[in-house]
Protein backbone atom coordinates (compact mmCIF):
# COMPACT_ATOMS: atom_id res chain seq x y z
CA UNK A 1 0.00 0.00 0.00
CA UNK A 2 1.47 3.33 -1.06
CA UNK A 3 1.26 6.17 1.45
CA UNK A 4 1.36 9.86 0.72
CA UNK A 5 4.74 11.42 1.48
CA UNK A 6 4.96 13.94 4.30
CA UNK A 7 4.86 17.43 2.76
CA UNK A 8 8.06 19.42 2.86
CA UNK A 9 7.52 23.02 3.88
CA UNK A 10 10.46 25.42 4.00
CA UNK A 11 8.87 28.48 5.64
CA UNK A 12 6.12 29.50 8.05
CA UNK A 13 4.45 32.84 8.79
CA UNK A 14 2.11 33.12 11.78
CA UNK A 15 -0.57 35.84 11.84
CA UNK A 16 -2.83 36.72 14.74
CA UNK A 17 -3.15 37.96 18.31
CA UNK A 18 -1.98 36.85 21.79
CA UNK A 19 -2.83 33.20 21.11
CA UNK A 20 -0.29 33.09 18.26
CA UNK A 21 2.17 35.38 20.05
CA UNK A 22 2.40 32.65 22.67
CA UNK A 23 0.84 34.03 25.84
CA UNK A 24 1.07 32.60 28.53
CA UNK A 25 3.90 30.18 27.67
CA UNK A 26 6.49 32.33 29.42
CA UNK A 27 10.19 31.55 29.11
CA UNK A 28 12.93 32.23 31.68
CA UNK A 29 13.80 35.58 30.10
CA UNK A 30 10.20 36.78 30.37
CA UNK A 31 9.41 36.40 26.67
CA UNK A 32 6.67 34.17 25.31
CA UNK A 33 7.21 30.99 23.33
CA UNK A 34 3.89 29.40 22.34
CA UNK A 35 2.59 26.88 19.83
CA UNK A 36 3.81 28.72 16.71
CA UNK A 37 7.42 28.77 17.95
CA UNK A 38 7.18 25.10 18.91
CA UNK A 39 5.76 24.23 15.50
CA UNK A 40 8.50 26.21 13.74
CA UNK A 41 11.16 24.39 15.77
CA UNK A 42 9.79 21.02 14.68
CA UNK A 43 9.63 22.07 11.03
CA UNK A 44 13.13 23.55 11.18
CA UNK A 45 14.51 20.32 12.64
CA UNK A 46 13.57 18.40 9.49
CA UNK A 47 14.10 21.12 6.87
CA UNK A 48 17.47 22.80 6.23
CA UNK A 49 17.36 26.60 6.07
CA UNK A 50 13.80 26.69 7.35
CA UNK A 51 12.51 30.25 7.79
CA UNK A 52 9.94 31.58 10.25
CA UNK A 53 8.16 34.86 10.95
CA UNK A 54 5.60 35.57 13.66
CA UNK A 55 3.66 38.80 13.11
CA UNK A 56 1.19 38.27 15.95
CA UNK A 57 0.61 40.95 18.59
CA UNK A 58 -1.53 40.53 21.68
CA UNK A 59 -4.90 42.29 21.81
CA UNK A 60 -5.29 42.75 18.07
CA UNK A 61 -8.77 42.77 16.57
CA UNK A 62 -9.45 41.26 13.17
CA UNK A 63 -9.50 44.68 11.51
CA UNK A 64 -6.03 45.45 12.86
CA UNK A 65 -4.77 42.06 11.75
CA UNK A 66 -6.07 42.69 8.24
CA UNK A 67 -4.53 46.16 8.09
CA UNK A 68 -1.20 45.52 9.81
CA UNK A 69 -0.29 41.86 9.36
CA UNK A 70 -2.04 40.40 6.33
CA UNK A 71 -0.30 42.55 3.66
CA UNK A 72 3.10 41.80 5.20
CA UNK A 73 2.41 38.07 5.41
CA UNK A 74 1.09 37.94 1.86
CA UNK A 75 4.27 39.59 0.56
CA UNK A 76 6.62 37.07 2.17
CA UNK A 77 5.95 34.14 -0.15
CA UNK A 78 5.91 31.59 2.64
CA UNK A 79 4.97 27.96 2.15
CA UNK A 80 2.63 27.95 5.15
CA UNK A 81 0.65 30.80 6.72
CA UNK A 82 -1.39 30.36 9.87
CA UNK A 83 -4.22 32.81 10.52
CA UNK A 84 -6.03 32.96 13.86
CA UNK A 85 -8.11 36.06 14.51
CA UNK A 86 -11.51 37.39 15.34
CA UNK A 87 -11.87 35.87 18.80
CA UNK A 88 -10.95 39.14 20.52
CA UNK A 89 -13.78 40.77 18.60
CA UNK A 90 -16.32 38.21 19.81
CA UNK A 91 -15.39 38.97 23.43
CA UNK A 92 -16.25 42.65 23.07
CA UNK A 93 -19.65 43.69 24.52
CA UNK A 94 -20.60 45.24 21.19
CA UNK A 95 -19.51 43.06 18.30
CA UNK A 96 -20.69 43.32 14.69
CA UNK A 97 -20.34 39.72 13.59
CA UNK A 98 -21.13 40.63 9.99
CA UNK A 99 -18.15 42.98 9.94
CA UNK A 100 -15.93 40.39 11.64
CA UNK A 101 -16.84 37.76 9.07
CA UNK A 102 -16.29 40.20 6.23
CA UNK A 103 -12.82 41.09 7.46
CA UNK A 104 -11.91 37.45 8.01
CA UNK A 105 -13.06 36.71 4.48
CA UNK A 106 -10.84 39.52 3.19
CA UNK A 107 -7.86 38.12 5.08
CA UNK A 108 -8.36 34.60 3.71
CA UNK A 109 -8.86 35.87 0.15
CA UNK A 110 -5.55 37.74 0.35
CA UNK A 111 -3.52 35.07 2.10
CA UNK A 112 -4.67 31.84 0.43
CA UNK A 113 -3.22 32.67 -3.03
CA UNK A 114 0.06 33.90 -1.50
CA UNK A 115 1.17 30.61 0.08
CA UNK A 116 1.20 26.88 -0.57
CA UNK A 117 -0.97 26.12 2.43
CA UNK A 118 -3.15 28.39 4.57
CA UNK A 119 -4.05 27.08 8.02
CA UNK A 120 -7.08 28.34 9.96
CA UNK A 121 -8.23 27.33 13.42
CA UNK A 122 -11.32 26.86 15.50
CA UNK A 123 -9.81 28.38 18.63
CA UNK A 124 -9.92 26.50 21.94
CA UNK A 125 -12.46 27.51 24.56
CA UNK A 126 -12.13 26.64 28.22
CA UNK A 127 -15.05 25.52 30.30
CA UNK A 128 -16.76 28.09 32.51
CA UNK A 129 -19.67 30.51 32.77
CA UNK A 130 -17.79 33.57 31.49
CA UNK A 131 -17.08 32.20 28.02
CA UNK A 132 -20.49 30.57 27.84
CA UNK A 133 -21.92 34.06 27.38
CA UNK A 134 -19.87 34.55 24.22
CA UNK A 135 -20.03 30.97 22.92
CA UNK A 136 -22.75 31.63 20.29
CA UNK A 137 -20.56 34.31 18.69
CA UNK A 138 -17.55 32.02 18.80
CA UNK A 139 -19.44 29.22 17.09
CA UNK A 140 -20.74 31.63 14.46
CA UNK A 141 -17.14 32.64 13.80
CA UNK A 142 -16.10 29.01 13.49
CA UNK A 143 -18.85 28.31 10.97
CA UNK A 144 -17.48 31.15 8.88
CA UNK A 145 -13.98 29.69 9.16
CA UNK A 146 -15.17 26.27 8.01
CA UNK A 147 -16.88 27.80 4.96
CA UNK A 148 -13.84 29.87 4.00
CA UNK A 149 -11.56 26.86 4.34
CA UNK A 150 -13.74 24.78 2.06
CA UNK A 151 -13.86 27.55 -0.53
CA UNK A 152 -10.16 28.43 -0.54
CA UNK A 153 -8.47 25.09 0.17
CA UNK A 154 -7.31 25.99 3.66
CA UNK A 155 -6.79 23.49 6.45
CA UNK A 156 -8.79 23.85 9.66
CA UNK A 157 -7.37 22.76 13.01
CA UNK A 158 -10.30 22.04 15.31
CA UNK A 159 -9.05 23.02 18.76
CA UNK A 160 -12.53 23.95 19.94
CA UNK A 161 -13.66 20.36 19.59
CA UNK A 162 -10.67 18.91 21.48
CA UNK A 163 -11.77 17.67 24.93
CA UNK A 164 -8.33 18.23 26.44
CA UNK A 165 -8.23 21.96 25.68
CA UNK A 166 -11.45 22.66 27.56
CA UNK A 167 -9.74 21.67 30.82
CA UNK A 168 -9.17 24.72 33.07
CA UNK A 169 -5.84 23.21 34.14
CA UNK A 170 -4.46 23.91 30.66
CA UNK A 171 -5.28 27.61 31.01
CA UNK A 172 -3.26 30.29 32.77
CA UNK A 173 -4.52 32.20 35.81
CA UNK A 174 -5.80 34.95 33.49
CA UNK A 175 -8.30 32.38 32.12
CA UNK A 176 -7.70 33.65 28.59
CA UNK A 177 -4.41 32.07 27.55
CA UNK A 178 -3.08 28.53 27.46
CA UNK A 179 -0.30 27.21 29.66
CA UNK A 180 2.90 25.76 28.22
CA UNK A 181 1.26 22.31 28.11
CA UNK A 182 -1.73 23.76 26.29
CA UNK A 183 0.52 25.37 23.68
CA UNK A 184 2.42 22.11 23.26
CA UNK A 185 -0.81 20.33 22.43
CA UNK A 186 -1.79 23.02 19.93
CA UNK A 187 1.59 22.69 18.19
CA UNK A 188 1.01 18.95 17.97
CA UNK A 189 -2.45 19.50 16.50
CA UNK A 190 -1.17 21.80 13.76
CA UNK A 191 1.80 19.52 13.09
CA UNK A 192 -0.50 16.58 12.44
CA UNK A 193 -2.96 18.65 10.38
CA UNK A 194 -0.09 19.63 8.09
CA UNK A 195 0.42 15.95 7.34
CA UNK A 196 3.29 15.08 9.67
CA UNK A 197 3.30 11.82 11.65
CA UNK A 198 2.04 12.16 15.19
CA UNK A 199 4.52 12.70 17.98
CA UNK A 200 1.68 12.71 20.51
CA UNK A 201 -1.32 10.78 19.21
CA UNK A 202 -3.16 11.51 22.46
CA UNK A 203 -3.02 15.31 22.44
CA UNK A 204 -6.82 15.49 22.48
CA UNK A 205 -7.10 13.12 25.43
CA UNK A 206 -8.10 14.90 28.65
CA UNK A 207 -5.62 15.05 31.50
CA UNK A 208 -6.10 12.51 34.31
CA UNK A 209 -8.76 13.59 36.77
CA UNK A 210 -7.64 15.22 40.00
CA UNK A 211 -9.53 16.41 43.04
CA UNK A 212 -11.07 19.84 42.37
CA UNK A 213 -9.71 22.77 44.41
CA UNK A 214 -11.52 23.53 47.63
CA UNK A 215 -13.91 26.42 48.18
CA UNK A 216 -11.28 28.67 49.78
CA UNK A 217 -8.75 28.01 47.01
CA UNK A 218 -11.37 28.83 44.38
CA UNK A 219 -12.30 32.11 46.09
CA UNK A 220 -8.61 33.10 46.38
CA UNK A 221 -8.15 32.37 42.67
CA UNK A 222 -11.27 34.38 41.82
CA UNK A 223 -10.03 37.40 43.78
CA UNK A 224 -6.61 37.23 42.13
CA UNK A 225 -8.16 36.88 38.69
CA UNK A 226 -10.46 39.87 39.27
CA UNK A 227 -7.72 42.12 40.65
CA UNK A 228 -4.88 41.24 38.26
CA UNK A 229 -6.73 40.52 35.02
CA UNK A 230 -10.45 41.24 34.88
CA UNK A 231 -10.41 44.81 36.23
CA UNK A 232 -7.45 45.88 34.03
CA UNK A 233 -9.20 44.28 31.03
CA UNK A 234 -12.38 46.24 31.76
CA UNK A 235 -10.32 49.40 32.17
CA UNK A 236 -8.74 48.96 28.74
CA UNK A 237 -12.15 48.38 27.17
CA UNK A 238 -13.56 51.56 28.75
CA UNK A 239 -10.62 53.68 27.60
CA UNK A 240 -10.21 52.14 24.13
CA UNK A 241 -6.74 50.78 24.89
CA UNK A 242 -5.26 47.40 24.06
CA UNK A 243 -2.64 45.25 25.77
CA UNK A 244 -0.72 45.28 22.49
CA UNK A 245 -0.62 49.04 21.95
CA UNK A 246 2.89 50.04 20.86
CA UNK A 247 4.24 46.49 20.79
CA UNK A 248 6.02 45.24 17.66
CA UNK A 249 5.54 41.74 16.20
CA UNK A 250 7.61 39.16 18.05
CA UNK A 251 9.41 38.01 14.88
CA UNK A 252 8.73 40.47 12.04
CA UNK A 253 11.10 39.07 9.39
CA UNK A 254 11.09 35.74 7.60
CA UNK A 255 14.48 34.45 8.74
CA UNK A 256 16.17 31.12 9.46
CA UNK A 257 14.90 29.73 12.75
CA UNK A 258 16.63 27.87 15.52
CA UNK A 259 14.27 27.85 18.44
CA UNK A 260 12.90 25.79 21.30
CA UNK A 261 12.51 22.07 20.82
CA UNK A 262 8.93 20.83 21.18
Say if residues 122 and 157 touch (Cβ distance below 8 Å): yes
- Residue 4 resides in a domain: no
Phi/psi for 13 (5° steps) reads -125, 125
- Residue 3 resides in a domain: no
SS (H, E, C) 173-228: CCCCCECHHHHHHHHHHHHHHCCCCCCCCCCCCCCCCCCCCCHHHHHHHHHHHHHH
pLDDT of 245 reads 58
Instruction: Find residue 2's DSSP bridge partners.
Output: none
Exposed/middle/buried for residue 221 (C-beta within 10 Å: 0-12, 13-18, 19+) = middle
pLDDT of 243 reads 61
Q: 38 lies in which domain range?
A: 11-256
Q: Kindly report the pTM of this predicted structure.
A: 0.86
- Residue 125 resides in a domain: yes
pLDDT of 111 reads 98
- Residue 1 resides in a domain: no
- Residue 5 resides in a domain: no
The Cα 40–Cα 44 span in angstroms is 6
pLDDT of 171 reads 86
- Residue 32 resides in a domain: yes
Exposed/middle/buried for residue 150 (C-beta within 10 Å: 0-12, 13-18, 19+) = exposed
pLDDT of 247 reads 86
| Number of domain units in the chain | 1
- Residue 261 resides in a domain: no
pLDDT of 215 reads 62
- Each of the 262 residues of the chain gets a pLDDT tens digit; together they read 445 567 789 999 999 999 999 998 988 888 899 999 999 999 999 998 999 999 999 999 999 999 999 999 999 999 999 999 999 999 888 899 999 999 999 999 999 999 999 999 999 876 655 567 788 899 999 999 999 999 999 999 999 989 999 888 898 877 688 999 999 999 999 999 999 999 999 999 987 766 566 666 556 555 565 555 555 555 555 555 556 557 889 999 999 997 764 4
- Domain containing 226 — which CATH number? 3.40.50.1110
- Residue 116 resides in a domain: yes
Amino acid sequence: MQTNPTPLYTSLVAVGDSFTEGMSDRMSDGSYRGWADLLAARMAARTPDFRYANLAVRGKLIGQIVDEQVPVAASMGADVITLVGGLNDTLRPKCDMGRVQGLLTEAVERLAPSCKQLVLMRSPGRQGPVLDRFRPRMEELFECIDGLAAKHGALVVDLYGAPSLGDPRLWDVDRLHLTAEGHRRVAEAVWQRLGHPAEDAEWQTPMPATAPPGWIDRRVADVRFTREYLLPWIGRRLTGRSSGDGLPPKRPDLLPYEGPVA
